[in-house]
Amino acid sequence: MKFSLKLFLWTISIVAATLAVGGYYIVNSMFQTSLARETKQVMDESGIIRFGFEISALNIPYKYEHLQDQDIARIAQRLDTGGENRYVRICGEDSVPLYASEGFPTGSVSIKGDMDQGFEDGGSAKELAYRIIPIDRRYYIQTAATLGIIDRSLSLETLTDITNVFTEREAGFSIYRRVCIVILICEGIIIFMSSYWLTRPVRFLSVAAKKMAKGNYGARAKKISSDELGSLTQDFNEMAMSLEENVYQLQEAARAQEEFVGVFAHELKTPLTAIIGYADMMRSQKLEEEKLLLSADYIYQEGRRLEKLSFNLLDLIVLKRTEKPTGTFHTKAIFEYIRDTFSKFDVNLRIQYEECEVYGEMSLIKTMVANLVDNAVKVSEPSGLVEVTGTASDSRYTFTIHDCGCGIPPEHLSRLTEAFYMVDKSRSRSRHGAGLGLTLCAEIARLHGTDLTIVSVVGMGTTVSFNLEVLNNE
Amino acid sequence: MGLVDMMKILIVEDEKAIRELIDMQLTLAGYDCQTAEDGVIGANLIEANSFDLILLDIMLPGVSGFELMDYIRPTKTPVIFITAKHEVSDRVKGLRLGADDYLVKPFDMVELLARVEAVLRRYHKAESVMEIEGVTIDFDAYRADKNGHKLELTAKEFGLLSLFVHNKNIALYRDMIYERVWESDFDGDSRTVDLHVQRLRKKLGWEHCLVTVFKVGYRLEVPK
């Protein structure tokens, strides 16, 4: 069942129950009040009649030894002037009626017998008692009293029609029911609309959640209130945002992985094709010596390329699983190694450095600097300037490798460290490049908590730098 | 050999090693080859010359192989794509663009020659009838005659004959022969190949030219 419907049903039932109980109580208490008033009046009247009868009976001269039946009737007739609604009856011994008002409802039960037992609803005295009885769909208050007349045992009964009190109650209920229905209808419309309006945020949330379940991660719920539901909407939207981000990252990672595999397959297949092809040709055909040597050379070169590719890949895999290095080393060793390694190349190598002890894994930094210098040498003209500098400032030691080569077009800069990415494919191929050198360097830098900063101007040269933490001796 | 000598093939491939490999192999097989190292040079050569077949690498710097197809299509020159990708989508794209066949790296020499031969024959640029060492072979009719008499050859024997005549003067290894003709992986039992080659040799009377290469396989030796 819908929440708004539940809210509606609950509210409406509570209102209806409250109205019913309250209304019943009010109408009923009004009824009780009028009934009590009527009763009191009837009792009073009954008392007056009794008193009047007794006085009249005393005033009758004693002709006989006891009061005659016709005298009783006469007195009663005189006293019975109370109006249409009241009937009087006087019974003698053996419950024989001696007088009854005109229209005294027949079929009414004689009260004599009951009087001896006492009435249910009042009057314990044998002198005066009353009860409320329905006769022929009308309600009466019946009173009974013993008349204290000498020699005679008489009883006085009055019967007063109080149907109007009951009719009023019925009318009260009926009006109240109608009022209730009108109130409930109005209330119902208002509650239904307000519960629908209050649960709007929930419906928005539900729509957004369904959209997200279908894969539309950009779906958001509209925030329309500032209450708990509003903050729930906000929380939901924040969750959706971080979810979307995660999904995007996962997709990116999957795409990068796929691309890596594709490029890797290509990089692997090219040398393999050459090796297999040349070897196949050499084994199946008698080749001239020149072609034989050429083929063997291709096999060798492509084999070397595969070797470099596999070692670089292995390094990358190992690096990805290596913890951050905690060792230290002197920077002098790096620069001296670079000087030794690259002095035989045809470049103007200028090395300048401050001696310092820094945090890092020396073999990795050596690989990284050698890679960067190798790149610089490759792009340099013969006898071109390649500067390798090391400067310490505050707590960081900065390595900078600068060349005056062709530079890198800006559109390539962001992708330089991607695996197998080559700016000039044929040029790096001719030097057994596999496009993994900078990827490796970036990985080593990441491991040491630093970044490769590459600044390049086309035609002017490229500067690559990174920094390491200086060991504090103090 | 006739027409085959004059077949002109253009090789567009950016990897020098592979470009020269294909060049060398096709030249040895008797084709007239020209090479281009990128799409632009390839397009220029296509405009200036007419070729019987173009071998085209898909991943080219600058103009890609797919783009180069726009230049090639009007000339109605058959094209074989060279690709490193095994993805079906790439092959389908190549074939849909009008390529006649594709060659997946790495490939061996026999496969290269077979595909080139097949495409050329489809375009009726290669002869469907060949005469060699007194034997006339009709590839379309699957029939071989010697001195006007029809030779009774089984399907496998005809396959063997076809393989040898398309790879003249090339040493064919037993495993390779088996994989080509029987079209399943070689299990190391070389007697099947030997048996069939001996029967074929006898039927054709080629004891002198279909020679055994020691420990390796067989070679059809014909004067160049």
In this predicted model, what pLDDT tens digit does every residue of A245-303 receive, in sequence order?
A: 999 999 988 988 887 787 787 778 888 888 998 998 888 888 888 889 999 999 998 89
Are the beta carbons of A376 and A462 closer than 8 angstroms? yes
Are the beta carbons of A151 and A144 closer than 8 angstroms? no
Least confident of A20-34, A113-127, A131-145, A270-284: A113-127
Amino acid in position B99: A
Distance (Å) from the alpha carbon of A470 to chain B's nearest alpha carbon: 44
Q: Which long-range contacts (CB under 8 A, 24 or more apart) does A168-173 make?
A: A168/A31, A168/A34, A169/A27, A169/A28, A169/A30, A169/A31, A172/A27, A172/A30, A172/A31, A173/A23, A173/A24, A173/A27
Are the beta carbons of A332 and A290 closer than 8 angstroms? no
| Higher-confidence position of B212 and A63 | B212
For helices B88-96 and B65-72, the axis angle rounded to 10 degrees is 20
A301 Cβ under 8 Å from any chain B Cβ:
yes
Distance (Å) from the alpha carbon of B193 to chain A's nearest alpha carbon: 17
| Confidence check: pLDDT of A182 > 90 | yes
Are the beta carbons of A89 and A104 closer than 8 angstroms? yes
Please state, rounded to an integer, the average pLDDT across all residues of chain A: 83
A303 Cβ under 8 Å from any chain B Cβ:
no
In this predicted model, what pLDDT tens digit does every residue of A336-376 receive, in sequence order?
A: 988 888 888 888 888 998 888 898 888 888 888 988 888 88
DSSP 3-state assignment of A403?
Answer: strand
Listed by number, the residues of chain A in 406-425 with a beta carbon closer than 8 Å to a beta carbon of chain B are 425
Q: Identify the pLDDT of residue A275.
A: 92
Rounded CA-CA distance A113/A124 in Å is 14
Rounded CA-CA distance B37/B60 in Å is 8
Rounded CA-CA distance B66/B83 in Å is 11
In this predicted model, what pLDDT tens digit does every residue of A389-429 receive, in sequence order?
A: 999 888 889 999 998 888 888 888 877 877 777 776 655 55
Are the beta carbons of A141 and A132 closer than 8 angstroms? yes
Rounded CA-CA distance B27/B160 in Å is 23
Rounded CA-CA distance B84/B37 in Å is 17
Whether the ipTM is more than 0.90: the answer is no
Distance (Å) from the alpha carbon of A298 to chain B's nearest alpha carbon: 6
DSSP designation for A324: P
pLDDT beneath 50: ranges in chain B: 1-4
Contacts of B61 in chain A (CB under 8 A): 425-426
DSSP 3-state assignment of B8?
Answer: strand
| Confidence check: pLDDT of A125 > 50 | no
Distance (Å) from the alpha carbon of A442 to chain B's nearest alpha carbon: 26
CA-wise closest residue to B25 among B107, B113, B143: B113
Residue of B61, B107, B216 lying closest to A273 (CB–CB): B107
Distance (Å) from the alpha carbon of A196 to chain B's nearest alpha carbon: 53
Q: Identify the pLDDT of residue A7.
A: 84
In the beta sheet, which residues pair with residue B36?
Answer: B12
* Site from A283, A285, A292, A432 to mutate, B interface, most B CB atoms within 10 angstroms: A285
In terms of Cβ atoms closer than 10 Å to its own Cβ (0-12, 13-18, 19+), residue A137 is exposed
Cβ-count burial A397-431 (b if 16+ within 10 Å, e if not): bbbbbbbbbbbbeeeeeeebbbbbbbbebeebbee
Q: Identify the pLDDT of residue A400.
A: 92
In this predicted model, what pLDDT tens digit does every residue of A207-257 receive, in sequence order?
A: 989 998 898 888 888 888 888 888 998 999 999 999 899 999 999 889 888
DSSP designation for A470: B
Contacts of B171 in chain A (CB under 8 A): 283-285
Distance (Å) from the alpha carbon of B87 to chain A's nearest alpha carbon: 10
In the beta sheet, which residues pair with residue B33?
Answer: B9
A277 Cβ under 8 Å from any chain B Cβ:
yes
Q: Cβ contacts of residue A324 below 8 Å, gap of 6+?
A: A447, A448, A449
Q: Within 13 Å of residue A351, how many CA atoms lie on the same side as its CB?
A: 19
Contacts of B21 in chain A (CB under 8 A): 273-274, 277-278, 281, 298
| Confidence check: pLDDT of A123 > 70 | no
Contacts of B59 in chain A (CB under 8 A): 266
- CA B39, B41, B43 angle in degrees (round to 5)? 65
Residue of A262, A284, A425 lying closest to B61 (CB–CB): A425
Are the beta carbons of A126 and A119 closer than 8 angstroms? no
Q: Cβ contacts of residue A108 below 8 Å, gap of 6+?
A: A133, A135, A140, A142, A159
CA-wise closest residue to A90 among A114, A110, A60, A62: A110
Alpha-carbon separation of residue A225 from A7, A195, A201, A240, A320 (angstroms): 18, 14, 8, 19, 48
Residues A167-182, mean pLDDT to the nearest whole number = 90
CA-wise closest residue to A156 among A220, A92, A232: A92
How far, in whole angstroms, is CA A290 from its chain's centroid? 79
Query: Which tokens sit at B213?
Result: 């290469």
Are the beta carbons of A380 and A405 closer than 8 angstroms? yes
Contacts of A288 in chain B (CB under 8 A): none
CB contact under 8 A, B105 and A291: no
Are the beta carbons of B222 and B209 closer than 8 angstroms? yes
Rounded CA-CA distance A390/B10 in Å is 53
CB contact under 8 A, B20 and A298: yes
Q: How many CB pairs under 8 A join A and B?
A: 80
In the beta sheet, which residues pair with residue A9?
Answer: none
* Site from B105, B112, B169, B180 to mutate, A interface, most A CB atoms within 10 angstroms: B105
Rounded CA-CA distance B8/B77 in Å is 11
Q: What are phi and psi of A293, to 5 degrees?
A: -65, -40
pTM (two decimals) = 0.57
Q: Identify the pLDDT of residue A429.
A: 57
Confidence band, pLDDT 50/70/90 cuts, at residue A384: confident
CB contact under 8 A, B37 and A426: yes
Residue of B14, B171, B216 lying closest to A426 (CB–CB): B14
Residue of B84, B169, B170 lying closest to A269 (CB–CB): B84
Query: Which tokens sit at A203?
Result: 């419906």
Distance (Å) from the alpha carbon of A382 to chain B's nearest alpha carbon: 24
A261 Cβ under 8 Å from any chain B Cβ:
no
Listed by number, the residues of chain B in 52-111 with a beta carbon closer than 8 Å to a beta carbon of chain A are 59, 61, 84-86, 105-109
